[in-house]
Structure 1
Amino acid sequence: MADTILSSVRLSYQYPQGVKLEFPDIHIAKNQHSLLLGDSGTGKTTLLHLLSGLSKPTTGEVHLMNDSLYTMSGATLDAFRAKNLGFIFQEAHLLRNLTVTENIKLAQRLAKNPVNEQTIAELLDYLQLKDKAHVLPNQLSRGQKQRVAIARAIINRPGLLLADEPTASLDDKNTDLVLQLLFNIASNFGSTLLIATHDKRIKDHFTNSYQL
């Protein structure tokens, strides 16, 4: 279907000398913000890695933007992922020797997109980071680093925006603030949001959810 952002069928992953995880089939349409909900150890992060092509499954297929992820490899897969997928990890993983702006420019280059300093500046202003554009990550608070990571993930206007446990360590007030920020920025940049979490507080914010 033309409006399908992400679909997976019969996905499983066998850890070497370990447990085999089997996952429900996923189908996410454009603008259908979705949730992967499960306790620690149920394989949420593993599933995100499979859905994004960071790991290969033991069985199954994944289609992102109607392209089969596992028919691509190497530089082709890297460029496709950089262009069509934004990933917000539990930790920001900012390159410590690059400024905030340089970290975001790198995401544009990896996607083989032209660097657009005006768009970066506007995005940092939107995220209340305008005065942090030229500082290094070690000069940022944890919350500021998270917002820079969001900026880096969204700068290429990816079709799919993945977030791994974005609210797990937050109180109720900040959980609501971060969720609203993610919804707003996904809407403004034309991205569909997929959150993996064990945080049952946010379940009612989603009409499409998968239990692991």
Structure 2
Amino acid sequence: MADYVLSSAQLSYQYPQGPTLAFPDIHMLENQHTLLLGDSGQGKTTLLHLLSGLSIPTTGSIKLMAQDLYSLRGSALDAFRAKNLGFIFQEAHLLKNLTVLENIKLAQSLANNSVNTAEVLTILEVLQLKDKAHSLPQHLSRGQKQRVAIARALINRPALLLADEPTASLDDSNTALVLQLLFDSAETYGSTLLIATHDKRIKDQFTNAYQL
């Protein structure tokens, strides 16, 4: 059996007093960048939350780097997720009272990694943000916040990088730029990319895709 970065089996999730969603089994090899395509309301964000251990499925199992994700609990799950998984949310969710540099150093700390300022400055330089290292989030443009979120997700060199609707609100030229940035960043930091989106413009960029 192949060594998958991520594999899921028979996942379902029942919303409280709501419907139950069943999801396709997902299998991702290293560097097999993958697209999760579905219209709004089909459960893409819910599935990402299940795959990342942020929500618990009603049924099914998930393995990340051969580790059964839901056999871990509490701080053990948090630490494993912080080391092995990066999540780029639809909104950046930067801590507003911390600088760009401090936001990313916090991600290192949460993964129980050594806080390495030089490494943070290097990734900020790669993403053309080094001059914003000591800026607070409210002084950044939306595009800059998105790149900070990418830097924060990549700083621990995660095996899996999840991105929730990274291009949905962008025009064609910026969509191409962000997608290339994600591919280039994943290659540089050794991560395999899973993008969830309803943006059909980008589906031809992926050979491994799942439809919700």
* Fold shared per TM-score above 0.5: yes
Does residue 200 of structure 2 align to residue 197 of structure 1? no
1:185 is the counterpart of 2:185: yes
Which residue of 2 is the match for residue 103 of structure 1? 103
Map of 1:53 onto structure 2:
53
TM-score by length of 2: 0.99
Deviations, residues 75-128 of structure 1 (Å, cap 9, x unaligned) = 000000000000000000000000000000000000000011111111111111
Judge which range, 122-131 or 161-170, deviates more. 122-131
Report what 1:140 is aligned to.
Answer: 140
| Contact 2:85–2:158 (Cα < 8 Å) also in 1 | yes
CA shift for structure 1 position 14: 0.6
Counterpart in the other structure of 1:78: 78
Equivalent-residue separation in structure 1 for 2:79 and 2:70 (angstroms): 14
Letter of the structure 2 residue corresponding to residue 137 of structure 1: P
**2:88 aligned with 1:88, yes or no?**
yes
Please give the alpha-carbon distance, in whole angstroms, between the structure 1 residues aligned to 2:119 and 2:16.
Answer: 44
* Aligned-partner SS, 1:4: coil
1:23 matched to which residue of 2? Answer: 23
In structure 2, the gaps of 5 or more residues are: none
| AA in 1 matched with 2:57 | P
Letter in 1 for 2:9: V
**How far apart, CA to CA, are the structure 2 residues paired with 1:193 and 1:3?**
16
Query: Per-residue CA shift, 1:143-191, capped at 9, x if unaligned?
Result: 0000000000000000000000000000000000000000000000000
Alpha-carbon distance in structure 2 between the residues aligned to 1:153 and 1:178:
15
**Does the 8 Å CA contact 2:3/2:66 hold for their aligned counterparts?**
no
Report the alpha carbon displacement of residue 3 of structure 1 after superposing the two structures with TM: 3.4
C-alpha distance in structure 1 between counterparts of 2:156 and 2:6, whole Å: 17
2:131 equivalent in structure 1: 131
Q: Which amino acid aligns with 1:87?
A: F
Query: What corresponds to 1:64 in structure 2?
Result: 64
Task: State the Cα distance separating 1:16 from its structure 2 match.
Answer: 1.4
The alignment covers a number of residue pairs equal to 212
Runs of at least 5 residues in structure 1 that lack an aligned partner in the other structure = none
Letter of the aligned partner of 1:90 in structure 2?
Q
Sequence identity of aligned pairs in percent?
Answer: 75
Q: Which residue of 2 aligns with 1:40?
A: 40
Q: Distance in 1 between matches of 2:202 and 2:131?
A: 31
**Using the alignment, how far apart are the partners of 1:107 and 1:207 within structure 2?**
31
User: Is the 8 Å Cα contact of residues 7 and 62 (structure 2) preserved in structure 1?
Assistant: yes
Question: Post-superposition, which runs of at least 4 consecutive aligned residues in structure 1 deviate over 3 A?
Answer: none
Deviations 1:46-102 (A, max 9, x none): 000000000000000000000001101100000000000000000000000000000
Mapped to 2, the partners of 1:2 and 1:98 lie a distance apart of 42
Aligned residue number for residue 113 of structure 1: 113
Q: Letter of the aligned partner of 1:70 in structure 2?
A: Y
CA distance in 2, matches of 1:136, 1:2: 44
TM-score by length of 1: 0.99
**For the Cα contact (< 8 Å) 2:31–2:193, is it kept in 1?**
yes
Measured after TM superposition, the shift of residue 2 of structure 1 is: 5.9
